[in-house]
Structure 1
Amino acid sequence: MDIAHILVKKFNETLSVEEQKYFDNWIQESDENSKLFMRLQSLQAKGKRISNLDDLEIDTAWTKVLMVAKSKKNKKKTPSLLKISKYAAIIIVLFTATFLYWQTFNTATTLPINEDAITLQLENGEIQEISPEKIQTITNSKGQKLGVQNGIQLNYLNNSDIDKLTYNVLTVPHGNTFKLILSDSTIVYLNAGSSLRYPVKFIPGQNRQVFLNGEGYFDVHKDKSHPFIVTNGSMDVRVLGTKFNISAYPEDLEINTVLVEGSVSLYNNETEYNTETSSILKPSHQASWNRSNYNITIQTVDTDIYTSWINGKLVIKKMPFKNIIQKLERHYKVTINNNYEQLDNLDFTATFDIESIEDVLATFAIETPFEYTKVENHIEIYKTKKENEMPME
């Protein structure tokens, strides 16, 4: 398969089941792949239409990538997917840059979007910046009132004039969270580095389906006639009315669903929904869905650990430091490179609220000493010098 076209279709949300599997495997292959995808997400959030990359001669460029990789065969064995992916990243970014340059100078009405801003994409592709300081009315391309934004909350109306299924996409960058109230009164909290595609109005007689990328907490308005479905790749979570959290960041191997109250069904959306074959989740339980083999494991958990982020808290319980780094990067909008490998598999437990990233790192360093440098939003972690080092348990 052609990863360039796969990425284009991913942004268009038109991947087939087989293509979604390919994408999941590709993004797990290396950090370079994950960073490339996040970079493209950032470009899209700034108002750049990544979908139009499909108009470029990607096939030719991709062939060149493979040829470059193949030319090294005399020096080494068959190139790994990781190495090919690095070349692919360069090619795709070059295409992106070329396209963005073309678009910038051929679309006079396109306004620049801050890459760190919360954004809302309307049904016609227009992207608006959502400022936390603003109170404003949101309308569609026809001038119809969709809802009202008040700071970091957007409340959609059940507008009787809208009778067709159209979608908006809300994107929340790292370092932010956002509260969304859908037209049926369902409440959604989106965590840092997440996006949700959802109908501006749910249509009577149809399921209430939304598409999540990242992490979201859902308080679903009960409606027995219209099941609420959250889709991420090949997994669907189906409910009638309940409270639950889904963490489905593309770089994670598993999709984790934690149920607070009510009940939910999890199933593979390659097939029709069947109550007998779907997995039912009970309150205070977590279901982990493996993206590669579709296996589900269920365990009892403390739900506060997984839902406290909606109240601005960062709760960590017996979590390896390498996983903590991902949470810190999303929460504080930083990048972290750990040069002290012994830290990676050490488990930590802590709760943070208003602490700065410096306070958080200082807290972890009390238990297992380490040093770090911070330049702007990038952090490098190092092993503490021996004369200051305390033994690890």
Structure 2
Amino acid sequence: MDQAAIEKYLSGEATEDEVEALFEWINADPINERRYIDFKKVWAITSESNQNKAQAWQLIQKSIDKHKKRAKIKLLKYAAIFIGILCGTYFYVIHNTIENSPIQHSQDSITLDIGNGQLEMIDGSGDKAIVDNNGQVIGMQKGDTLNYAVKTNINHTISDVNSKVEDLVYNEINVPYGKKIQVLLSDSTLVYLNAGSSLRFPVHFISGLERKVFLTGEAFFEVAKDKDPFIVNANNANIRALGTAFNVSAYSEEIDVETVLVEGSVGIYPNKEQFSKEHSTVLVPNQMAVWNKEKKDVIVKTVDVEMYTAWVSGKMVFRNTPFKVIRKKLERHYNIQIINHNRVLDKKTYNAVFDIETIREVMQTLDESFSIKYTIENNKLIIE
């Protein structure tokens, strides 16, 4: 595996086969994993010099060869060349999936509220039927996916069987920090729910009515095409689509609702208003609408879509992102609390790609390069 292949992945240009080949190479040998991690530390945004990247790669290779001769595999702590972005000095923050983190994680489960106070605990490795209070099967769980469009026989779905029901019946899925889940709605719309999120949705949609769901947190929607519009309600904003793919971030503690369009078209409008193209903010692909829930206004800008959707595939991408934002996303992903007393650090902006590193590697990198002091205790990470 060479430098170009890794750069292609980090830039979001690799195909599925290339990504699979890269991770097979990473998992084949601990040395490959270290080479990959260390190169990520020196990988720059596209405007940076390729010569710097090449020189850094050569340093990493030489260091690995030296360690091989000694028959030891050590962390290549000082191979990284950190590229200044703001105030002359910046760093790359690295992260890993929750399974590899050495910090003790909360055992809180994903829960599904099926009504009347009845909660189902969702184990990401289990398979079971989801049954309502009347004993009727309304969905199936298979691993990390809840399926409300599951086939009950060769010709019908659960939604078809219940199509005569005139009242909407809602379920609500709640995802704690450190976990994610997929929900296939009865209309075959696929929803990816990020950590710290909840989604309230009808068990089945009624033909002729809008397909409306309620989101707190972050989700990526692949909306099934239908004559009835699909609407996401998030913090008093509505996002309306017919058949499209888009990401919505609407955490309750944040003042903005961010909608990023991947394909198709969506319209954003206030919760209490009726949709119309004239009075809605309509996006085209590669645009983001930022809805301020206090001012109730919308700002539209062109963005790097991957930066906002990479989490679906387990990758987090940041471009000139304040550390304050980065650490909040790390909190959700790792299910830890990060308390930062270094206000200078909080205001800087950074570039980073996260996928396989542990949280301890993140903090070790900060400490070694910038003398950032920290402690980890009782699932809290405190930066002095």
Separation in structure 1 between the aligned mates of residue 321 and residue 369 of structure 2, nearest angstrom = 14
Shift of 1:180: 0.7
Return the match for 2:222 from 216, 219, 236: 219
Decide whether aligned partners of structure 1 residues 315 and 365 sit closer, same or farther in structure 2, where only a CA change above 3 A counts.
farther
- Runs of 4 or more, structure 1, over 2 Å off, are 360-369
Per-residue CA deviation, residues 46-98 of structure 1 (Å, 9 max, x unaligned), is xxxxxxxxxxxxxxxxxxxxxxxxxxxxxxxxxxxxxxxxxxxxxxxxxxxxx
Separation in structure 1 between the aligned mates of residue 290 and residue 367 of structure 2, nearest angstrom = 31
Instruction: Look up the match of 2:315.
Output: 313
Return the match for 1:353 from 351, 355, 364: 355
Compare 141-150 and 258-267 and name the one that shifted more: 141-150
Decide whether aligned partners of structure 1 residues 189 and 176 sit closer, same or farther in structure 2, where only a CA change above 3 A counts.
same
Residue 185 (str. 1) matches residue 188 (str. 2): yes
CA contact (8 A) 1:123 1:167 kept: yes
Separation in structure 2 between the aligned mates of residue 345 and residue 233 of structure 1, nearest angstrom = 26
Code of the aligned partner of 2:314: G
Shift of 1:360: 2.2
Decide whether aligned partners of structure 1 residues 367 and 298 sit closer, same or farther in structure 2, where only a CA change above 3 A counts.
farther
Instruction: Look up the match of 1:128.
Output: 120
3-state DSSP class of the match of 2:161?
Answer: coil
3-state DSSP class of the match of 1:362?
Answer: helix
Shift of 1:264: 0.1
Decide whether aligned partners of structure 1 residues 367 and 287 sit closer, same or farther in structure 2, where only a CA change above 3 A counts.
farther
CA contact (8 A) 1:352 1:360 kept: no
Separation in structure 2 between the aligned mates of residue 280 and residue 369 of structure 1, nearest angstrom = 47
3-state DSSP class of the match of 2:373?
Answer: strand
Instruction: Look up the match of 2:334.
Output: 332
Decide whether aligned partners of structure 1 residues 326 and 152 sit closer, same or farther in structure 2, where only a CA change above 3 A counts.
same
Shift of 1:367: 5.5
Q: Which residues of structure 1 form unaligned runs of 5+?
A: 1-113, 383-393
Shift of 1:125: 2.5
Q: Structure with the greater relative contact order (CA < 8 A, sep ≥ 6): 1 or 2?
A: 2
Return the match for 1:203 from 175, 199, 206: 206
Instruction: Look up the match of 2:137.
Output: 145
Map 1:153-302 → 2, pairs under 5 A:
153-157=145-149, 158-159=157-158, 160-162=160-162, 163=165, 164-223=167-226, 225-302=227-304
Code of the aligned partner of 1:129: M
TM-score (norm 1): 0.66
Higher helix share: 1
3-state DSSP class of the match of 2:328?
Answer: helix
Decide whether aligned partners of structure 1 residues 258 and 366 sit closer, same or farther in structure 2, where only a CA change above 3 A counts.
farther
Separation in structure 2 between the aligned mates of residue 369 and residue 217 of structure 1, nearest angstrom = 37
Decide whether aligned partners of structure 1 residues 255 and 368 sit closer, same or farther in structure 2, where only a CA change above 3 A counts.
farther
Shift of 1:366: 5.7
3-state DSSP class of the match of 1:251?
Answer: coil
TM-score (norm 2): 0.68
Separation in structure 2 between the aligned mates of residue 337 and residue 172 of structure 1, nearest angstrom = 22
Per-residue CA deviation, residues 173-219 of structure 1 (Å, 9 max, x unaligned), is 00011011001100000000000000010111111000000000000
Identity %: 44
Shift of 1:361: 2.5
Shift of 1:365: 4.6
Shift of 1:377: 1.0
CA contact (8 A) 1:284 1:302 kept: yes
3-state DSSP class of the match of 1:276?
Answer: helix
Instruction: Look up the match of 1:103.
Output: none
Separation in structure 2 between the aligned mates of residue 364 and residue 169 of structure 1, nearest angstrom = 39
Per-residue CA deviation, residues 15-57 of structure 1 (Å, 9 max, x unaligned), is xxxxxxxxxxxxxxxxxxxxxxxxxxxxxxxxxxxxxxxxxxx
Shift of 1:133: 1.9
3-state DSSP class of the match of 1:354?
Answer: coil
Separation in structure 2 between the aligned mates of residue 170 and residue 367 of structure 1, nearest angstrom = 41
Instruction: Look up the match of 2:101.
Output: none
Q: Which residues of structure 2 form unaligned runs of 5+?
A: 1-105, 150-156
Separation in structure 2 between the aligned mates of residue 194 and residue 131 of structure 1, nearest angstrom = 16
